[in-house]
Structure 1
Amino acid sequence: MKLTRRASLFLLAFAVWTWLIWPNFMVNIAKDVRAFTDSGAPTTFFTVHLVLVLTSLALGTVIGVIGWRGFRADRAARKTD
């Protein structure tokens, strides 16, 4: 499958957006009073959100790699034309 330049750039933008938003979200969750018990142990609230953030970052990374490869392939194809 060949990605267009536009689709590749969209995927790259999505990956950058993901890496800008989710770490900040995790910092905010960690500051929430519901994140840890009085003894400092993580709560279910924190654990669920941590899994959500890690999954989103993993998917964002994969999407970024796909976008980067598509962009490079498009650039190479334009050079040969």
Structure 2
Amino acid sequence: MKLSRPLSWFLLAFGVWSWVIWITFVKNLWNDGSGLAFDDAGDPTAYFWVHLTLAVVSFVLGTAIGVIGLRGLRALRPTS
């Protein structure tokens, strides 16, 4: 089954968006100064671990979706 060109581009763009959003999110989580991500001793809290897990899973799924889009675009290229 071949994906359409617009759908392939959408999936690839979603993968790139995932990289930008979730890497930025993890950087912000790591540098959190509000006291939610780290306790007074500097140890990670449950909030940190839950949000890090969400970010990693979303990042992996976004990457997989982007790869599907890239493969869809490659399949649409004319062969010589």
Q: Normalization by structure 1: what TM-score?
A: 0.87
CA offset digits 1:18-73 (Å, max 9, x no partner): 10111111121222221111222110110010001000110011001101110000
Instruction: Tell me the secondary structure at the aligned position of residue 34 of structure 1.
Output: coil
1:74 to 68, 73, 76: 76
TM-score (norm 2): 0.88
Could you tell me the percent identity over the aligned residues? Answer: 57
CA-based RMSD of the aligned residues comes to: 1.1
Structure with the largest fraction of helix: 1
What is the aligned partner in structure 2 of residue 19 from structure 1?
A: 19
Alignment partner, residue 4 of structure 1:
4
Correspondence 1:41-80 to 2 at 5 A: 41-75=43-77, 79-80=78-79
Long gaps (5+) in structure 1: none
